[in-house]
Structure 1
Amino acid sequence: MPPTRYNADEVTRRIERLREAYEVVRVERRRDEPVETFADLRGYAEDGYIGGAYVWVVREPEQAHDLTESMPDDAFGDEDRVLLGMGRGSNHWGPAGGGLEGFDPADPGSGETYEDAAVREVAEETGVECEVHGPVTVDRLVVEDPDGADEVHLAYVVFGGRYAGGSIDVQPGELNGAAWFSELPSELHPNLDFWPEYWADRGEDA
C-alpha cells in the first residue's frame, strides 16, 4: 500500500488560503525526526488535529487600564506591551493560543479557521480579547512514522494581533501565568528565537 499523508491536502489548502488573504506569508517547512509517539499523533490526525494558532497580542499605551487612586503620583503612562503566557509544564514564555477545533477529515474545509482558533484560544487561556491582522510565521511540520513511510502534516500559525479588551485571567489548567511585557523575557520559548528582532523592528503592525 502507498504511504498515507495524513491531512496533507487540508494543510496545503489552508496555507494557500492564508497566502490569498494576506500579502506576506512566511512559510517554513520542516520535517521532524520520526517519533516513537507517532501512533498517538496519527490518532489525533484521524480525529481532525491539523495544528495550532497563536497570537502576538500587542497593547498600545492608550489601551492600558487607568491607574487606581492608590498608585503613587510619579506613576505615569505605559508603553507598547505584548501578551505572553507560560504553559503548564514549561518555564518558557510564548504567545497564547492552541489547536483548531471542529475539523472533520471527511469534510475538507470544515471547522475553525486559524484566525478563529487563535482569537478563541487567547480568550480562553488568558481572558484577553484580541484581533488578528495577519500571520507572522507559518510553520508547516511533517512528522514521519519511525516504522513506515506514513506522514502526519500539521501547520502552526503565529499571528500579529492587537488588544481588544479584557484583563488577564489565566486558565490554570493551561497556563502557569500570563503577563504584559515591554521587553521580552530571557526565558522565551526556543522556537521563538527570531522574535526579539521582530519585536524591536515590528513597526505599527506588530
Structure 2
Amino acid sequence: MPVPEFVAALRRHVGHAPLWLSGVSVVVRDDDGRLLLTRRADNGRWAVVSGVLEPGEEPGPAALREVREETGVDAELERITSVDVTGPITYPNGDVAQYLDVCFLARYVGGAAAVSDDENLEVAWFSPEEVPSDLTPSSRLRLEKALQDVPEAWFQR
C-alpha cells in the first residue's frame, strides 16, 4: 500500500510512533441510490473511499482525487456529512496513526468503477440494503450519517 512521501519522511524520524493525520472519506451515490465501496487491501474489509490529505491540500479536491485514484469514478461533491476522529489504527507494518476525517457525500458523474490502485482488492456498487456485513466501523458511521439526508454535518458534541 503506498504511503504518501511526506508520511514516509515523518516515519524516518518517528518510527512506528503514533501520527496524527488529516483525512477525507467519501460516500458516493449513483442515480439509483447505490453506494460505491472498496475492499481494502490492508484489512480485507469493505469501506467508503478514504485517504490522507497531502500537505496544504484542501479537503474537497482531496476527496475527489481519492475517489478517482481508488475507483476510476468521477464524482461531484454535494456536502460535508460528518467530521470525526478515528481510534488509533495499527497497520500490518507496525505504524500507528489516528485520523481527523472530513466525510463528504458525492454524486457519481462518470467513469467505470474498478480497482485503480494497490490500496484496494475490489470496487463495487451496493444498494443501501445490501451493504456488506464486513464494513469497517468507521465506514458504517460515515454511511449512517451521510444517508440521513439532513443538511447539517454530524460531529461529536
CA offsets 1:32-86 (integer angstroms, 9 cap, x no match): xxxxxxx3466966xxxx321111000013xxxxxxxxxxxxxxxxxx2010001
Residues 19 and 98, structure 2, Cα contact 8 Å, conserved in 1:
no
**Are 1:84 and 2:55 an aligned pair?**
no
Give the match for residue 25 of structure 2: 54
Once residues 81 and 22 of structure 2 are traced to their aligned partners in structure 1, the CA distance between those partners, rounded to angstroms, is 16
**Are 1:93 and 2:46 an aligned pair?**
yes
Give the match for residue 126 of structure 1: 71
Residues 86 and 178, structure 1, Cα contact 8 Å, conserved in 2:
yes
Point out where structure 1 has 5 or more consecutive residues left out of the alignment.
1-38, 62-79, 104-110, 144-151
The structure with more strand, counted as a fraction of residues: 2
CA offsets 1:142-175 (integer angstroms, 9 cap, x no match): 97xxxxxxxx984111111111110112124110
User: Normalization by structure 2: what TM-score?
Assistant: 0.68
Among candidates 126, 131, 144, match of residue 181 of structure 1: 126
Once residues 203 and 180 of structure 1 are traced to their aligned partners in structure 2, the CA distance between those partners, rounded to angstroms, is 23
Once residues 98 and 43 of structure 2 are traced to their aligned partners in structure 1, the CA distance between those partners, rounded to angstroms, is 25
Over aligned residues, Cα RMSD in angstroms? 3.2
Among candidates 97, 100, 111, match of residue 155 of structure 1: 100
Among candidates 182, 190, 193, match of residue 137 of structure 2: 190
* Rg larger in structure: 1
Once residues 195 and 115 of structure 1 are traced to their aligned partners in structure 2, the CA distance between those partners, rounded to angstroms, is 16
Q: 1:133 to 1:199 in 2, by over 3 A?
A: closer
Identity %: 34
Q: 1:87 to 1:141 in 2, by over 3 A?
A: closer
Once residues 81 and 187 of structure 1 are traced to their aligned partners in structure 2, the CA distance between those partners, rounded to angstroms, is 17
The SS at the match of 1:90 is coil
User: Normalization by structure 1: what TM-score?
Assistant: 0.53
Question: Shift of the alpha carbon at 1:134?
Answer: 1.8
Question: Shift of the alpha carbon at 1:194?
Answer: 3.6
Question: Shift of the alpha carbon at 1:129?
Answer: 0.6
Residues 184 and 196, structure 1, Cα contact 8 Å, conserved in 2:
no
Residues 55 and 95, structure 1, Cα contact 8 Å, conserved in 2:
yes
- Number of equivalences: 130
The SS at the match of 1:86 is strand
